[in-house]
């Protein structure tokens, strides 16, 4: 891998590159050049070795992973499992060993595999969730972010899907988009963003990996900052 921006250099460790001070909410996605985020219903059709590395790095440096219930079911989500090197990095940087998955669900229905690890369910006030699941009684993006901050989770990573990302962008709580661009034209399929007003982005870093994979970090310029 080679970093192209803001300086040209080899990238020894993506965790160090992606570790920035919180609090923040990042979105981590992979997409084709034409903006499609799934092939045959799964993001794995767009993935690459470089994308897998950045996927693990983003999970290593974050405090909690956010995902919509539909995406959790579609992608067969389980608990976040860190390997030994990731656990060592987290310990050296003062992070908790476990990274909970935060599921936004209006029904309270959660994939069974997720229940074998730490889970926080963001649900409406009267919805019942499985026993043993921590509950945050809101599905409002601002309420979710503030509620997680109160629990000590300040470095947040949103992994999808597009509806959840769009709602968080509309609420202006997304700080950074970490986007892997796969060198494919996928044609028909779900796209990264839904109905959204124009948002200004600022490129923070760009990494290239052969053959043609780009790993970009884009700051989202808030309308209040303009």
Residue 225 has a pLDDT of 47
Pick 223 or 186 by higher pLDDT.
186
Which pLDDT value is given to residue 195?
Answer: 81
State the pLDDT confidence band at 173, using cuts at 50, 70 and 90: very high
Q: How confident is the model at residue 164 (pLDDT cuts 50, 70, 90)?
A: very high
Residue 37 has φ and ψ, to the nearest 5°, of -110, 5
Name the strands in the sheet holding 119-122, side by side, starting at the edge strand that comes first in the sequence: 9-10, 2-5, 200-209, 213-221, 176-182, 24-32, 155-158, 64-68, 101-104, 119-122, 134-136
């Amino acid at each position: 891998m080679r970093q192209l921006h803001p300086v040209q250099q080899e990238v020894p460790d993506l965790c160090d590159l992606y570790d920035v001070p919180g609090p923040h909410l990042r979105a981590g996605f992979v997409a084709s050049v034409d903006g499609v985020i799934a092939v045959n219903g799964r993001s794995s059709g767009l993935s690459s070795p470089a994308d897998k590395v950045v996927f693990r790095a983003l999970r290593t440096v974050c405090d909690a992973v956010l995902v919509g219930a539909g995406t959790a079911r579609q992608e067969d989500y389980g608990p976040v499992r860190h390997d030994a090197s990731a656990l060592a990095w987290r310990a050296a940087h003062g992070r908790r060993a476990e990274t909970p998955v935060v599921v936004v669900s209006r029904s309270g229905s959660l994939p069974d595999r997720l229940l074998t690890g730490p889970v926080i369910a963001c649900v409406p006030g009267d919805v019942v969730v499985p026993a043993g699941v921590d509950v945050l009684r809101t599905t409002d993006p601002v309420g979710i972010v503030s509620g997680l901050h109160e629990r000590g989770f300040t470095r947040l990573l949103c992994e999808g899907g597009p509806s959840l990302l769009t709602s968080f962008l509309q609420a202006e709580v997304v700080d950074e988009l970490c986007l892997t661009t796969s060198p494919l034209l996928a044609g028909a399929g779900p796209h990264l963003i839904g109905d959204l007003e124009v948002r200004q982005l600022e490129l923070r870093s760009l990494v290239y990996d052969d053959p043609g994979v780009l790993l970009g970090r884009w700051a989202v310029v808030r309308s209040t900052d303009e």
